[in-house]
Amino acid sequence: MSIHVVIGAGPVGSATALLLAGRGDEVRLITRRGTGPRHPRIERIAADATDSSSLSTHSAGATAIYQCAQPEYHRWPTDFPPLIQSAISAAETTGAVLVTVGNLYGYGAVDTPITEQHPLRPNSTKGRTRTGLWNAALTAHRAGRIRTAEVRGSDYLGAGANSAFTVMVLPAVRAGKQGLFPGDPDAPHSWTVIDDMARTLVAVADDETAWGRAWHTPTAAPLSVRALAQLAADLAGAPLARVRRMPAAVLWTAGLFDSNAREMREVRYQFDRPFVLDSSAATTTFGIEPTATAVAVQATLDDLSTAERDAAGRS
């Protein structure tokens, strides 16, 4: 049994905490309000993870620190840097390995399947922010101050998944309506499962030979948004999926009133061309096979139904 610190109780943080607790480890789950999943081995701690002194105190004796917290989309440039600096400080103080959750924004626009060897050439503010976070941790690692690694995934599927597909397309298709998508609905796209992110984070933390680099979460073969929507419709017993590209003017106008829609503008390139993740290295190294897309979509649908029932119960 060992102690693990998980920062953030979003979908990935919660899945990671439950995975660790389920195998018998003690978990300290750090959030501002002390929220997160309930489990006898999960201690939910209310603390500000950007306070390096506080985070170091709560990380004392830990084997690993998992940085899974994610600020609001439009606040990445201001809120992410102090979070990673605090995590780096806690890792340096305690000796715990720091494993961070990353994504693919840092690669910028690419024309081939993305491997971990692709150079980081961000073409967006959020991509530059993500690249800066990893470079800060990697610099500390190379200087011998900490031990670290990063696990990257594409847009999520699974319970709690929040992406352009799950927000803009899935609810509409499930209700038999037309979904609008801010990109080419026929472009191949990789979809990473939240539980697979958790499995990879833990595997990387457990294997000291995996530190000092980034890893791509094992991810199933790509599917276009249209194909994914039809799979969801079939599983939900809904009519034939109808999806069309959202006109640029509609997304632009939506951005005047909604911060998430506004932030979507600069990463729209990911959906206008094939955006495919090569995750073969992690599968070969850790033996993790990606969850079948149909299983992930069903979990996403089940979570959506649960959220709707909970909302109806509160009304």
281 belongs to a structural domain? no
**136 and 242 both lie in a single domain:** no
Query: Any idea what DSSP says for residue 219?
Result: -
The CATH number covering residue 207 comes to 3.40.50.720
174 belongs to a structural domain? yes
**95 and 173 both lie in a single domain:** no
**184 and 198 both lie in a single domain:** no
67 belongs to a structural domain? yes
**310 and 164 both lie in a single domain:** yes
Domain end residue (candidates: 201, 216, 231): 216
132 belongs to a structural domain? yes
Residue 267 sits in which domain range? 157-188+221-276+291-314
**251 and 146 both lie in a single domain:** no
79 belongs to a structural domain? yes
282 belongs to a structural domain? no
- Look at residue 260 in the predicted model and tell me its pLDDT: 61
- Look at residue 259 in the predicted model and tell me its pLDDT: 63
**86 and 234 both lie in a single domain:** no
285 belongs to a structural domain? no
**128 and 201 both lie in a single domain:** yes
**163 and 263 both lie in a single domain:** yes
| Strand-pair partners of 214 | 150
Neighbouring residues of 315: CB distance < 8 A, sequence distance ≥ 6: none
Angle at 296 between CA 113 and CA 116, to 5 degrees: 25
Asked whether the whole model's pTM tops 0.85, one would answer yes
Please, is 298 exposed, middle or buried when counting C-beta atoms within 10 Å of its C-beta (0-12, 13-18, 19+)?
middle
**230 and 257 both lie in a single domain:** yes
166 belongs to a structural domain? yes
Helix (H) or strand (E) segment spanning residue 156: strand 155-157
**202 and 254 both lie in a single domain:** no
Give the whole-angstrom CA distance, residue 259 versus residue 252.
11
**262 and 124 both lie in a single domain:** no
If one counts the domains in the chain, the total is 2
**107 and 32 both lie in a single domain:** yes
pLDDT tens for the 315 residues of the chain, in order: 799 999 999 999 999 999 999 999 999 999 999 999 999 999 999 999 999 999 999 999 999 999 999 999 889 999 999 999 999 999 999 999 999 999 999 999 998 999 999 999 999 999 999 999 999 999 999 999 999 999 999 999 999 999 989 999 999 999 999 999 999 999 999 999 999 999 999 999 999 999 999 999 999 999 999 999 999 999 999 999 999 998 766 655 555 456 666 666 777 889 999 999 999 999 999 999 999 999 999 999 999 998 888 877 776
Q: Which two tokens stand for residue 68?
A: 């899974």
- Look at residue 31 in the predicted model and tell me its pLDDT: 98
